[in-house]
Amino acid sequence: MDELVGVILSAGKGSRIDPFNAHFPKPLLPIGNRPIMGHHLETCRDLGIRKCCVVVGHLMDRIINHFGRGANAGLDIQYVEQVDTLGIAHAVGQAEPHVDGPFLLCLGDIFYLANDIDRLVTRYKQGDVAAVLAVKEEDDPDVVRRNFSVEVGGDGFVTRVVEKPRKPASLLKGCGIYLFGPEIFDAIRRTPRTALRDEYEITNSIQILVDDGHKVAVEPVVDWDLNVTFPGDLLDGNIAYLKHLGAENLVDETATVEEGVTLTRCVVGAGARIKGPGQLTDSVVLPGTIVDAGQDLRRALVSPGLVSRC
């Protein structure tokens, strides 16, 4: 197999997480005091990936300034701008000049906890597939309706993928992590814009792969995932990550928590200061935030000048 590279899509604006998107591009929103994109870069590095292409757009200067060329992450990061936000398939197409072979694709606004994600690579290396999709079996059809469904035939290969299905024929959900061979770029070039959202959907590109006779496999490696769309999603993601770590709280070493402050299942970011006395429960304090004394906050997302109760 040719050298595997990483592609991370980080161009979206994320208007529904307003007003936080005015200061934080979604990939820089923190889960466990680390940007979502930072978790993806760590995944790439753990898989032995050395080169990553990051597709940027909204507030791209902040993303580039934060991660630079990837030296701190042990990676070589190249950036490419998606000028017009025309969907995931369009964004992936922008990376084609920087990708010569197979690549791991991560969506910059989806946080996940995965088990043995290297199984995507192992499956692709068997040499009989053009793509491997990370999937999760869901119990609730509504969860699948918000994402995309994956139907698998008796031979174990994908027969159909449907973006945001009204009536899911399968509870197998795609999770926004993909391992693609270069064949996907040919499919993207033939992907039509959708009538509903006027975008180029990656699910349509995958279906073109399948219809062309390419085999697409699935690997159920995702234990938990979250599309960070609303402020409450960011809060839930941080609380889930605390549980994953087995930690009661997570306080950045540069943050200050004064005497008299009680924290319960909270994440406190870099340079934040919480004045005492006070009580915070199931809350996230974003970097650089000052929380005044006397606060009793529950399920709150706190940034400079703003408290969002979720």
How does pLDDT run along the chain (310 residues), one tens digit per residue?
789 999 999 987 665 666 666 667 888 889 999 999 999 999 999 999 999 999 999 889 999 999 999 877 789 999 999 988 899 999 999 999 999 999 999 998 899 999 899 999 999 999 999 999 999 999 999 999 999 999 999 999 999 999 999 999 999 999 999 999 999 999 999 999 987 778 999 999 999 999 999 999 999 999 999 888 888 899 999 999 999 999 999 999 999 999 999 999 999 999 999 999 999 999 999 999 999 999 999 999 999 888 989 8
H or E segment and range at residue 204: helix 202-211
Q: What is 5-227's CATH number, 3.40.190.10, 1.10.3720.10, 3.90.1150.10, 3.90.550.10?
A: 3.90.550.10
Supply 261's token pair: 């402050």
| pLDDT for the residue 189 | 97
Q: Which amino acid, 108? A: G
Backbone angles phi, psi at 62, to 5 degrees: -70, -40
Q: What is 231-309's CATH number, 3.40.50, 2.160.10, 3.40.1350, 1.10.1740?
A: 2.160.10
Q: How far apart are CA 284 and CA 30, in angstroms?
A: 9
Task: Decide: 26 and 228 in contact? Cβ < 8 Å.
Answer: yes
| pLDDT for the residue 115 | 85
Of 158, 166, 170, 173, nearest to 205 (Cα)?
158
| pLDDT for the residue 17 | 66
Give the contacts of 186 (CB within 8 A, at least 6 positions apart): none
Domain boundaries, the chain: 5-227, 231-309
Q: How far apart are CA 248 and CA 102, in angstroms?
A: 40
Q: Measuring CA to CA, how many Å separate 138 from each of 133, 141, 168, 174, 243?
A: 15, 7, 11, 10, 20
| pLDDT for the residue 21 | 63
